[in-house]
Amino acid sequence: MDRTAGPSFVGKTIETTVERLVAGGVGLAHAPGKTLFVAAAAPGDRVRVRIERDQGKIAHARIVDLVEPSPDRIEPPFPALAASGAAGFAHLRYPAQLAVKQAIVHDALRRIGNIPLEAAPEIVPSPAEWGYRIRAEWHYDPVQPALGFLAAGSRRVVDLPDDPLVVPELAGAFTDLRARMMAGRLGDEPLTIQAATAGGAVSLHPDPAGGEPQEIVAEVAGERLTFDARCFFQGNGGLLEPLVEEAMRFADAPSAESPALDLFCGVGFFTLPLARRHRRVIGLELDPLSATFAQRNADEAELRGVRIAAQSVEEWGKEAFRSYGRPPFLLLDPPRGGLAPSAARGLLKLRPSRLTYVSCDPATLARDLKLMMRDGYALERLVAFDLFPQTPHVEVVAHLVRAGTEAG
């Protein structure tokens, strides 16, 4: 216990101005001797807040009175959804959402990565602000009963009449599930329901109709990708092709003898377009189901130079260091936690000429880029994509080139 700490501010009300939004989408404000993190804030809000948690120099607060709202603030169009925590930016005008995400990326790279960006990166907006998701995860609580998303910072399910974030095919599936729930036909156990759609078909896991989830086929950038709801797949249907195009910007190396690498390859989203640019491609995917789909997708596309390994990056690296030369190109799209230290060390031992990092967390991206740039890589280009409108999340594509290699 810190015996030098002053009296707790918990329960106190303070008037302050929100200066900006930071990682996680919370507002940054100050009071005498305190840095405040304010939930559901907008940049420029003049607010009265109540301290909910006091950690010494840092305190977490919620708004109790909106004294003067920011010009960027709007009334959330779907209040129930906003209450669930699934749409933490629904109270912001869309241009403000984009500006905040640019600033979050810029701040992470400068503060965590020590990367001196002169300006915030370009951000590609979503074609649709609502009704854009082709993947969803819904929660079912049989006790309330309730079907929807989890409340922010809680395991409580917020019951929703509909899901305005998803495309019409998934909105229809949600309506059907809700009808089943109201009729008492969703069962007596809590469920996490994964949903995905492509080509007009819907895949659910678990499927209330029973059996395995339906396979669906997405057509992206000229490639056909078969998968089901259990597999990871990028979630914004309107940005799939621009994301592939950006990821492939520096990928061409048709004469290279060593294989290009696609780490965390999922069902082959980037693997197949990469195989159009390289004689051989090795994809790594820890999830055996996704790895099976990835190899099947490559085989059905008659891309004979593709080999998918259902291994972790760390496991595969032990073989790779002995068996393969320096890869001409490496693409990685890791989960939110980024690269494990052992995976990062193994990747750097391979010394790929060019490297493209697709990230869904600017903080872990900045951490990993710092390591790569210390090892001789230069950041050539950085682009953000708003794959997740109405939320604080942002996707970033970073292109790096090793010293002595032309970026093209």
pLDDT tens column, 79-138: 889 888 899 999 999 999 999 999 999 999 999 999 988 888 999 999 999 999 999 999
pLDDT at 156: 93
pLDDT at 238: 98
Instruction: Name every residue whose Cβ is closer than 8 Å to that of residue 382 and which is 6 or more positions away in sequence.
Output: 105, 109, 117, 121, 122, 396, 397, 398, 399
The answer to whether residue 181 scores a pLDDT higher than 50 is: yes
Q: Which of 360, 384, 387, 394 is catalytic?
A: 360
Q: Which long-range contacts (CB under 8 A, 24 or more apart) does 89-95 make?
A: 89/25, 89/389, 89/390, 89/391, 89/392, 90/390, 91/40, 91/42, 92/42, 94/125, 94/129, 94/389
Domain-by-domain residue ranges, the chain?
A: 13-68, 135-218, 221-226+237-402
Average pLDDT value for residue range 55-68: 95
**Number of CB atoms found within 10 A of residue 6's CB:** 9
pTM of the complete model:
0.94
Topology of the domain covering 13-68 = OB fold (Dihydrolipoamide Acetyltransferase, E2P) (2.40.50)
The answer to whether residue 209 scores a pLDDT higher than 90 is: no
Q: Are 263 and 313 in contact (CB under 8 A)?
A: yes
In this prediction, residue 283 has a pLDDT band, given cuts at 50, 70 and 90, of very high
- The Cα–Cα gap between 402 and 94 comes to 37
Look at 58 and 6; give whichever has higher pLDDT.
58
What's the CATH architecture for 221-226+237-402?
A: 3-Layer(aba) Sandwich (3.40)
- The Cα–Cα gap between 350 and 224 comes to 30
CA end-to-end span of the chain: 56
Q: Is 360 designated active site?
A: yes
